[in-house]
Amino acid sequence: MAKTALNNDLNKQKYMTQKEMAEHFRKTEGTIINWRRKGFFTYFRPPDSKSVLYLLDSVEDFERGYTIISKRKGVDNRPKPVKRERPDISSTSDKKWRI
């Protein structure tokens, strides 16, 4: 129920706070800051304030630009797991080093 209340409130707003962005994308605020520094979002910083407000239009553009929709039905688009193996390198060396 809280999610629908948040979504209804967001529909009326023009900006999102950093905390709201983190909750929306289910990421940490630090990740949102990194994305902002990379230029993914348009933001507004009020004068003499440390708070940052993100434009909802830029959030929607970001979601549209990075959403992948499968064109074929029944296709699994998840990335294939990486097969991890132990390296063949021994932690102890058989060689005697001379100095």
pLDDT tens digits, residue range 79-92? 777 888 876 766 66
Beta-bridge partner residues of 17? 53
Predicted confidence (pLDDT) at residue 6 exceeds the cutoff of 70: no
Contact (Cβ atoms closer than 8 angstroms) between residue 85 and residue 73: no
Contact (Cβ atoms closer than 8 angstroms) between residue 43 and residue 33: no
pLDDT score of 62: 85
**CA distance between the termini of the chain:** 71
Residue 93 banded pLDDT, cuts 50, 70, 90? low
d(CA 14, CA 71): 33
- The residue behind tokens 């990740």 is 31
Predicted confidence (pLDDT) at residue 1 exceeds the cutoff of 50: no
Regarding pTM above 0.85, the answer is no
Average pLDDT estimate for 21-27: 92
